[in-house]
Structure 1
């Protein structure tokens, strides 16, 4: 087990993560594709939060209070709860609330458990499709409409043959956008707007790169665990650790990661 963790604890953490994802599925589907209103959390752009976001996180926190009260929690909607175990659950109750409001099935629920080194296990769950990507603690798999399959990232190939994803075409500041466009100019195809689902596609071997900026810890910790377990690489734009958010470069393998990293810093 990772970090010398015993199997009993690892199995418990994976079981709890699945219970959290199951609860979040029920909570989010209760309001999906309904006439749902949203509050705006920011003043200079539309950053929505809904009753579904809050219900999803509330139900996950209730499970943690019952099953892992000694652990900390970092959640998007209700902040930080300090624990005593050295483990912290990192929760994004709906990653892609804009997509959720629009009715597209590319939003997701992100769950990770981290220690002092970063995420050791994570989930990317898409409730409407019924697809769950999991990684860490010896596991790298996806379960969904096509059954249960092992996750494995795509083998190295030139950037000129690569598929690149990001959520927002502007990719942060003008300077960050210019750096992204240097990679985009060399890639075969670029797609936008799939939020956390793009990270699942890296882990599944479907695409090569995701590049984003301005992320939070709860946006990336679940995806980091899943992608790394599948054989991929996730860093910041300087090649360092990305588990607390910021500018993130997720890649299917080290070769294409190096090629994209050089262009981001050209």
Structure 2
């Protein structure tokens, strides 16, 4: 096993994966493509489209061709070789609801675990031509205009914080009460951004992003982007995000996250 990953090579490959996913998904954006419901049998709505499936197929094909010894965990096509030293964790279209609504806030999430730990991540928005990349080499935003280093906003108090989450209605019961308490303590909340809100924390335009019920492919690409931009990502107990994901909060500083957790900890999963 390698002792020190070649992050420059892995970054370049992750960008190749993001480009391939974008080439598969972007031509289908705002085209009125058919939508399947993965939870129709439960009378709930969890959409999936050919954009999700085609983008993940494109990513998997490249991984299998160039790194056949690497593992893969993907939202649409499951797991393979997950005991490998390197495992790619994929959400080909995070924010499918935004995608089918024509909103350019969906992203492709490409994460890489090394020996079980998230070490590299890509948050890509091909319609806006933005790629947020994070690894031990640093975090940066890549656009046609060039590369810009990513850095979280300077430490702010909770009363000045801008927070984001996908939908406050996704917090049931005691989680909703906890979120309501946090909402009263902050300056501004924005909704409907999915993973893009986490990218904005890394960019320094928002201060907190939080979610519940996440899967590994929803968060593992995000962790290296925010952490290497100087931010913090934990579960709602203030512990490292587990392999099963679940409740997650990201913030621009440890102090800010801890202040937010004072409102959330009563609803934290055990």
**TM-score (normalizing by structure 2):** 0.93
Q: Kindly indicate whether residue 26 of structure 2 is the aligned counterpart of residue 29 of structure 1.
A: yes
Q: Kindly indicate whether residue 142 of structure 2 is the aligned counterpart of residue 143 of structure 1.
A: yes
Is residue 134–residue 140 contact of structure 2 (8 Å, CA) maintained in 1? yes
**Alignment match, 1:183:** 182
* CA distance in structure 2 between the aligned counterparts of 1:204 and 1:78, rounded to whole angstroms: 31
1:84 shift after superposition: 6.0
Is residue 70–residue 84 contact of structure 1 (8 Å, CA) maintained in 2? no
The alignment yields a C-alpha RMSD, in angstroms, of: 1.5
* CA distance in structure 2 between the aligned counterparts of 1:125 and 1:55, rounded to whole angstroms: 16
**Alignment match, 1:105:** 104
Q: 1:11 aligns with which of 8, 13, 16?
A: 8
* CA distance in structure 1 between the aligned counterparts of 2:123 and 2:96, rounded to whole angstroms: 15
The DSSP-based 3-state class of the residue aligned with 1:265 is helix
**Alignment match, 1:252:** 252
1:117 shift after superposition: 4.1
**Alignment match, 1:38:** 35
The DSSP-based 3-state class of the residue aligned with 2:257 is helix
Deviations 1:163-213 (A, max 9, x none): 010001223322111111111110000110011100110000001001110
Moved more, 243-252 or 97-106: 243-252
* CA distance in structure 2 between the aligned counterparts of 1:256 and 1:117, rounded to whole angstroms: 27
Q: Pick closer, same or farther for the CA change 1:152–1:50 going to 2, 3 Å.
A: same
Q: Which runs of 5+ in 2 are unaligned?
A: none
The DSSP-based 3-state class of the residue aligned with 2:169 is coil
Q: Pick closer, same or farther for the CA change 1:45–1:70 going to 2, 3 Å.
A: same
1:12 shift after superposition: 2.1
Q: Pick closer, same or farther for the CA change 1:83–1:236 going to 2, 3 Å.
A: closer
Q: Kindly indicate whether residue 117 of structure 2 is the aligned counterpart of residue 118 of structure 1.
A: yes
Is residue 87–residue 115 contact of structure 1 (8 Å, CA) maintained in 2? yes
* CA distance in structure 2 between the aligned counterparts of 1:117 and 1:238, rounded to whole angstroms: 21
**TM-score (normalizing by structure 1):** 0.95
The DSSP-based 3-state class of the residue aligned with 1:170 is helix
Deviations 1:206-233 (A, max 9, x none): 0100111000000001111100010000
Deviations 1:24-79 (A, max 9, x none): 01011120000211110112321100011000000000000111100000000000
Is residue 73–residue 82 contact of structure 2 (8 Å, CA) maintained in 1? no
Q: How many residues align?
A: 262
1:139 shift after superposition: 2.3
